[in-house]
Amino acid sequence: MEHCNRKGAPKIIPECTLPLTGLRCIDMIITDLCVMVMDEEHRRFRVTEIAPGVTREEIETKTTAELLFADELIEIATA
């Protein structure tokens, strides 16, 4: 999915503003910028992989939810 909407606003936000069909049922998010996996211990998404050319700072700028980052980020392989 796109990390931001058409207007450039973050889609990864602290709290859902739409009606929920399920609560805490997502354990991974894959966007055009990165891969995030739910860290159950901290109840936050942890960025584990980033797209080529993307920086940690760019992900932080385009995300309003609190994120954790893996100690070593893996670059996503492209075909």
CATH code of residue 20: 3.40.1080.10
Query: Which backbone phi and psi does 12 adopt, to 5 degrees?
Result: -90, 100
Per-residue confidence band for 13, with pLDDT thresholds at 50, 70 and 90: very high
User: Number of structural domains, the chain?
Assistant: 1
**Structural domain of residue 22, as residue ranges?**
1-79
d(CA 39, CA 79): 28
pTM reported for the whole predicted model? 0.89
Number of Cβ within 10 Å of residue 61's Cβ equals 11
Task: Find tokens 């700072």 and name the residue.
Answer: 57
> Is residue 42 packed enough to be buried (19+ CB in 10 Å), middle (13-18) or exposed (0-12)?
exposed
The string of pLDDT tens digits covering residues 59-71 is: 999 999 999 999 9
